[in-house]
């Protein structure tokens, strides 16, 4: 019995076309989906591939730093949906905001909106640098990797920490959930560290937990320190802009 040509069209071809359309629409193609999926299900295998085969794991994954910035962009979009950084800005003491507001010549509302826009632009890249600067020395020390691979491993770890947050949507940024979400995010970092680092960053589970908690505290400190240049660069930008 003969079968029509249309019935014999291979499913992978249709799937490939759909993937192409999705990549055109979102910038997220098969390579990005594979990277995201493996961060969730096999982070240690992924880390080994990055360390053994280079910054793209032989073309199998996206570069860790670029992918981290992309995921942080998604988190920034969630934050934007809930009002952006305005809560942080308006919580600043009056003596911090007043000189910049007067220098700008704008109304308070417009000035706050401009600062928020600048923080949305600067937050992800600046904080990414601070996270790496604070965490990479620990990864370098604990793993014995060379500097380049330790820096790469740092961003693979940050990616494995961030990927589950993407699935939570904007809920962690909602006021009723922020306290619990903060604890949950630190737990995610501990879990990512333990899933990825046995035999590399630590050799016993108690030691691994201790190092993971230390890394979580270091990341918290880097976030506080990194937010200062983000805020003041944004104040400068808003005061100079028209």
Give the tens place of pLDDT for each residue, 146-188: 999 999 999 999 999 999 999 988 887 777 777 788 888 899 9
Is residue 47 predicted with pLDDT exceeding 90?
yes
Query: Would you say residue 1 has pLDDT above 50?
Result: no
Report if residue 123 sits inside a domain. Answer: yes
Residue 172 lies in a domain: yes
The answer to the question of residue 170 being in a domain is: yes
When pLDDT is cut at 50, 70 and 90, the band that residue 22 belongs to is low
CB 143 within 8 Å of CB 201: yes
Within a domain: 78: yes
How much of the chain exceeds pLDDT 70, in percent? Answer: 88
Could you tell me if residue 148 is inside a domain? yes
Q: What is residue 36's predicted lDDT score, i.e. its pLDDT? A: 96
Q: What domain range is 162 assigned to?
A: 64-240
Residue 48 lies in a domain: no
Q: What are phi and psi of 202, to 5 degrees?
A: -150, 160
Mean pLDDT for the stretch of residues 23-31: 67
What is the residue whose two structure tokens read 């949950």?
184
27 in a structural domain: no
Using CB atoms within 10 Å of the CB of residue 193, give its burial: 0 to 12 exposed, 13 to 18 middle, 19+ buried: buried
**Number of domains into which the chain is organized:** 1
Tokens in use for 44? Answer: 């240690």
Q: What is the pLDDT of residues 196-214, one digit of tens each?
A: 999 999 999 999 999 999 9
Which residues on neighbouring strands pair with residue 198, listed in sequence order?
202
pLDDT at 5 over 50: no
Residue 226 lies in a domain: yes
């Amino acid at each position: 019995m003969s079968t029509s040509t249309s019935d014999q069209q291979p499913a992978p071809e249709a799937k490939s076309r759909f993937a192409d359309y999705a990549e055109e629409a979102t910038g997220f193609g098969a390579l990005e989906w594979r990277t995201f999926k493996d961060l969730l299900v096999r982070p240690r295998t992924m880390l080994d591939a990055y360390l053994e085969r280079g910054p793209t794991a032989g073309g199998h994954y996206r570069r860790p730093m670029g992918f981290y910035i992309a995921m942080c962009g998604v988190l920034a979009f969630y934050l934007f949906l809930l009002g952006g950084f305005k809560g942080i800005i308006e919580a600043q003491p009056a003596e911090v905001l007043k000189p910049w507001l007067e220098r700008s010549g704008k109304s308070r509302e417009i000035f706050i909106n401009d600062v928020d826009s600048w923080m949305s632009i600067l937050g992800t890249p600046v904080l990414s640098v601070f996270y790496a600067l604070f965490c990479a020395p620990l990864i370098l020390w604990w793993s014995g990797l060379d500097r380049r691979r330790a820096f790469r491993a740092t961003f693979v770890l940050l990616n494995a920490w961030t990927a589950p947050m993407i699935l939570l949507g904007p809920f962690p940024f909602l006021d009723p959930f922020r306290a619990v979400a903060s604890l949950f995010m630190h737990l995610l970092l501990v879990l990512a560290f333990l899933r990825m680092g046995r035999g590399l960053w630590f050799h016993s589970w108690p030691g691994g937990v201790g190092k993971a908690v230390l890394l979580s505290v270091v990341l918290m400190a880097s976030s506080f320190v990194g937010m200062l240049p983000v805020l003041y660069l944004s104040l400068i930008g808003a005061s100079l802009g028209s």
